[in-house]
Amino acid sequence: MLFTSPEFFTLLACTFLLYYLVGKAQLQKIILVISSFTFYAWNFPKLLALLCVSILINILTVKAIKQSKAGQRYWWATLGVVINLGILAFFKYSPLLGKTFFESGSSVGEYLMGIPLPIGISFFTFQGLSLVVDTYRAKDGDDNLPEHTGSLVESIALYIAFFPQLIAGPIVKAYEFLPQIAKKAFRDIDWEYCIKQLIVGYFLKMVIADNLKDHTFWMQYPYFMELSGLNLMALLFGYSMQIFADFAGYSLIALGHAGLFGYRLRDNFMFPYISASFSEFWRRWHISLSTFLREYLYIPLGGNRKGKVRTYVNLMLTMVLGGFWHGAAWSYAVWGAAHGIALALERFVNDALPFQWPKGFRFVKIIFIFSVVTLLWLLFRLPAFSEVLLYLSQIKNAPFFKGVNDLNTAFFISMYALPIMAYHGWYLLKESGSKNWAIKLEPLLYACLLFMILVNSGSSGSFIYFQF
């Protein structure tokens, strides 16, 4: 079910009404779980079974960890991690294994390639992992989980299936979400916060991403072979804007909807395109994934505590696995590896430099980081590595300008990129101390965004991160 569909708004309205009418914590949890299951099962009811199995496994594992003695807790937690990763690996990576290691036409290969990818699996299995690990790490039973079995089941089902963030994040950690489960009252809703998140989120998705997608459609092979150099560069820039608007939009909508039900999810994006380094970019982009990988992978691997070489290895490993998390294709691993190399190189150069970068140099660094990040998004857009190389060679070899259509594309991409740049600029303005002036203009700005949602939305399309 799409956040922009009439069915979703109907479900949201009914859930909202019932949720605040019942007024009891337990019933509120049940209502949210039923709504979340409806939301998930809407287009593919069969996939609900997998979500339920995932929830059940995590309930059993958590129960076992809680009831076991110190020595056994480790093994239950390990088993929980292995099962969660196993589910993810089976459904997400079997087609890739089938394609890579088996001849076409072989029965095993065909079987593996025929396994469907359940929507949102990367998100809910990672939340399952967080639950198992956080329960294991909790000291003196301080795991925020209820003792009563019925209540435990409801809480875990709600944590994993909560519909605002179920299929495309943000990835919510158990220790952030579970303490929030309690009775919620209508009067406690922070309407201003929710409406602001929803306006910006829907603007980014419906006005920016949905309009840009109709242009970046032509980045597919072989259509891009017909385009001019100007067009190819404009489309690549447009895709960079689109992927930000699409995913940041989804995350903000999720934050807004969660807020309506009394839950605060952490920001997933913090103006990433003003980053002046790769490490800053990863502190601002898909924050819930990068913090997850840091807390549950990079630090357990040793982080930066085991010498320089090991730090670089840990960075590379974390980023390659982070790349693979996005999709079952080698291009995602290459994308992750490229970011890993960039992070390692950056750390090496910063350690080796005998001076600090001058402050005025920041703008040049922002442009550089943005350009590299944008170039690497090609690995997201084009599934085959050979197509990525062909696209890049076409930028160099195709005529720079072919005709009036080039200007059309460049015009639309500039028009829809402008708000994204202004959005980042707005943040810099507020940060630079022009806060009062900026705050006074806020109602008018939000009104402009709402106006554009009403009169300038593009054709409805899926969120890019649904495929992950």
* Binding region for another protein (CB under 8 A): 6, 191-192, 195, 199, 211, 214-215, 221-223, 225-226, 402-406, 408, 411-412, 415-416, 442-444, 446-448, 450-452, 454-456, 458-459
**Could you say which of 215, 286, 326, 339 is catalytic?**
326
Cα angle 2-283-340, degrees, rounded to a multiple of 5: 100
Question: How many residues make up the chain in this entry?
Answer: 468
First to last CA, the chain: 16
CB of 325 vs another protein, minimal distance in Å: 32
- Give helix 229-260 / helix 6-22 axis angle, nearest 10°: 20
Identity of the residue, 199 or 378, whose beta carbon is nearer to another protein in the bound complex: 199
Identity of the residue, 102 or 446, whose beta carbon is nearer to another protein in the bound complex: 446
CB of 255 vs another protein, minimal distance in Å: 17
Cα angle 436-449-284, degrees, rounded to a multiple of 5: 70
Q: Which residues of 282-299 are buried (b: 16+ CB within 10 A; e: fewer)?
A: bebbbbbbbbbbeebbbe
Instruction: Please tell me the number of Cα atoms within 13 Å of 2 on its side-chain side.
Output: 15
CB of 287 vs another protein, minimal distance in Å: 26
DSSP secondary structure code for residue 459 in this structure: -
Give yes or no: 257 in active site.
Answer: no
Q: How far is CA 249 from CA 3, 206, 236, 267, 281, in A?
A: 10, 9, 19, 11, 18
CB of 42 vs another protein, minimal distance in Å: 18
Identity of the residue, 106 or 408, whose beta carbon is nearer to another protein in the bound complex: 408
Q: Is residue 318 within 8 Å of 328, Cβ to Cβ?
A: no
Identity of the residue, 431 or 442, whose beta carbon is nearer to another protein in the bound complex: 442
Identity of the residue, 96 or 206, whose beta carbon is nearer to another protein in the bound complex: 206
Instruction: Please tell me the number of Cα atoms within 13 Å of 68 on its side-chain side.
Output: 16
CB of 143 vs another protein, minimal distance in Å: 38
Residues with a catalytic annotation lie at 326
